[in-house]
Amino acid sequence: MAPFDSLRDYAEALEKRGKFVRVKEMDQDKYEATAFHYKILDRWKTNAPGFLIEKTKVNGTWHTVPVVGNLFNGFDTVAECFGVDKISDSQSEMYIAAGEKITSYLVNDRWKSIDPVIVDKKKAP
C-alpha cells in the first residue's frame, strides 16, 4: 500500500475521510459479521465504509482479536491505497486515477520484482 506503512495507517486514513467505522463488539452467536458486511454493502453500495470489530463473541466466548472488513470498497479507497494524491467521490474518476497509478509502477512493461525477506518466527509480529 504505497503511501502507508501499515494496514493500521491505511485504516486511519480511511477513518479521517469518514470511510471507516469502529464497532466495539459483535455477538456472532446472534448476528454474524459477514451478514453485517453484506448489510452495509446493500445499504451504501460503493460508499459503504470499511470497518473494525474490536471484540467478537463466538460460541459463547468473547475474543479481542480485531476483525477488519470492506477496506477496499470503491475505487476511491483503492486509489487512496495506491497513493493517488487527489481523492474524490467520483468512482469513474478514481477508477481511471487508480489504473494510471498502478500502471505507473511498471518498469519496461513488467512489475518490479523484489527478493523475499525471511523473518524468524520469534521476530514476527
Domain presence at residue 121: no
Does residue 51 belong to any structural domain of this protein? yes
Asked whether residue 15 is domain-assigned, the answer is: yes
pLDDT digits (tens, 9 = 90+) for 78-109: 999 889 999 998 999 999 999 999 999 898 99
Q: Is residue 2 part of a domain?
A: no
Across the chain, which distance is largest between two alpha carbons, in Å? 55
Number of structural domains found in the chain = 1
Q: How far apart are CA 14 and CA 113, in angstroms?
A: 28
Is the distance from CB of 47 to CB of 53 less than 8 angstroms?
no
Q: How confident is the model at residue 18 (pLDDT cuts 50, 70, 90)?
A: very high
* Domain assignment of residue 13, yes or no: yes
Mean pLDDT of 28-51: 94
Task: Report the chain's mean pLDDT, rounded to a whole number.
Answer: 92
- Structure confidence at residue 3 as a pLDDT band (50, 70, 90): confident
Residue 17 within a domain: yes
DSSP per-residue string spanning the chain: -TT-SSHHHHHHHHHHTT-EEEES-EETTTS-HHHHHHHHHHHHGGGPPEEEE--EEETTEEE---EEE-TT-SHHHHHHHTT-SS--S-HHHHHHHHHHHHHTTEETTEE---------GGG--
Q: Which long-range contacts (CB under 8 A, 24 or more apart) does 15-18 make?
A: 17/80, 17/87, 18/49
Domain of residue 50 covers: 7-111
Cα separation, 14 vs 20, in Å, equals 5
- pLDDT at position 41 is 95
27 located within any domain: yes
125 pLDDT more than 80: no
Residue 120 lies in a domain: no
